[in-house]
Structure 1
Amino acid sequence: MNSRARILLYFAVAAIFLIVGITVRLPQLLEEPVVQSTGQPAIGGEFELIDHKGNTVTQEDLLGSYTLVYFGYTFCPDVCPTSLQTAATALEMIPMRKSNKVVSLFITVDPERDTPEVMAEYIKHFHKSLIGLTGSLEQVSKAAKAYKIYFKKVVEEGKEEEDYLLDHSAFQYLLGPDGKFITHFRHGITPEEMAEKLKANIR
């Protein structure tokens, strides 16, 4: 084989490899980039509310502490007091070095009736770390939206307009010192289960 034929053969072989390579890689080149998710729910965000002492509280005031967040209302007949008592009992069951790192928030979904004074009286029955938060309906709605909380006023048949109840989400959330979501606690969890989960997540 002369040198010219050998050169042509090399080019032919190289062209074949190039075509095969492009064919193999083409599907990968046309794919959309894979966006990796952390799997972390987008729970929490900015809010400005009034605590049971009349002070303004924002999400910035909570940084540096673990925060246990629950939305409810003081006229709630059963779900809210049960959830708050479960949290109070669970906090008493974990080591003090961990419970002292926790701030508990009870954010009302009924700002019309839950004034700072009403909240102050109500939270006395639960854990010492509990802070009651209220505000205008707009402020409360913004906080509820940030925490993915649903609530709706309900007037039962035969009741007066002012004797309403509220349907609302009944989760409790644990946020870290950086303000980011760590985990949630379903309604109906036992104090023992909640305590174990708190111990595992509070460093």
Structure 2
Amino acid sequence: MKIGLPKTAAIFMAAGLLALALPVMPGLLKGNAFYGWPMQGDLYPDLVESSNGSAHTFVTLGYLGCGDVCPTQLATLAELDGLLKEARVRFRFVTLAPGLDSEERMHTVMSGLGSRFDWTRPASERSAQALARDLGERVASRPEQHGEPQWLHPGHVYLLDPSGRALLAYRGSLLEPERMRDDLRQLLAEEPKS
């Protein structure tokens, strides 16, 4: 008598195991010591606060009307903020929809997340999309739903050094704040002491 799982059940189990492994796979596959993906080091000085001197900045792009990845990424960054209480770090949200996200609304949401949260509202959707493309994100608009335009975007998180140099990219919507904290600690430990 043959006892075994039906093929469908085995496929679902394999898919479930793969889904559980996805958060740790980037570090295993790319062969480096960081959880985040290394970036080419392009400079984005407008995304860091020059008055903060030596603060690293975690940046994400999205829009406040997003009902999907943006709330998840902002919650992740808020959790990371709690893990990095003593670190010189900032968090910046860049809107992809400056026509929808007013300055007042951006200020209200970001200040509600904490004193280290800032926002950037580009002059136009075109300039916001150019920044997204420059960072390697694919952004597209889709038809309006419930009276507001919708944007398809991945919601990656980027870590920039104090000069605005892109160091790491975190891809995915279920990021691990503890591992992001560990990346920052490792980068800080590797920095030359002045």
Question: Normalised by the size of structure 2, how large is the TM-score?
Answer: 0.66
| Residue correspondence of structure 1 range 1-203 to structure 2 within 5 A | 41-42=39-40, 44-45=42-43, 58-59=46-47, 61-62=49-50, 64-96=54-86, 98=87, 101-135=88-122, 136-155=124-143, 159=145, 162-186=147-171, 187-203=173-189
Which protein has the larger Cα radius of gyration, Structure 1 or Structure 2? 1
Quick check: 1:89–1:191 contact (8 Å CA) kept in 2? yes
Quick check: 1:45–1:147 contact (8 Å CA) kept in 2? no
1:148 CA displacement = 1.9
Letter paired with 1:76: C
> Do the aligned partners of residues 78 and 183 (structure 1) sit closer, same or farther apart at CA in structure 2, a change above 3 Å counting?
same
Letter paired with 1:197: D
Q: How many residues align?
A: 149
Letter paired with 2:134: A
Letter paired with 2:84: I
Higher alpha-carbon deviation: 78-87 or 59-68:
59-68
Q: What is the aligned-residue identity percentage?
A: 23
Q: Is the partner of 1:71 in helix, strand or coil? A: strand
> Do the aligned partners of residues 143 and 45 (structure 1) sit closer, same or farther apart at CA in structure 2, a change above 3 Å counting?
farther
Higher alpha-carbon deviation: 126-135 or 80-89:
126-135
Q: Is the partner of 1:107 in helix, strand or coil? A: strand
Quick check: 1:72–1:170 contact (8 Å CA) kept in 2? yes
Q: Is the partner of 1:146 in helix, strand or coil? A: helix
1:88 CA displacement = 1.5
- Rounded to whole Å, the distance in 1 between the matches of 2:44 and 2:166 is 13
- Rounded to whole Å, the distance in 2 between the matches of 1:124 and 1:113 is 18
Quick check: 1:108–1:133 contact (8 Å CA) kept in 2? yes
- Rounded to whole Å, the distance in 1 between the matches of 2:85 and 2:155 is 26
What is the aligned-residue RMSD (CA, Å)?
Answer: 2.6
Unaligned 5+ runs, structure 1: 1-38, 48-57
Question: Normalised by the size of structure 1, how large is the TM-score?
Answer: 0.63
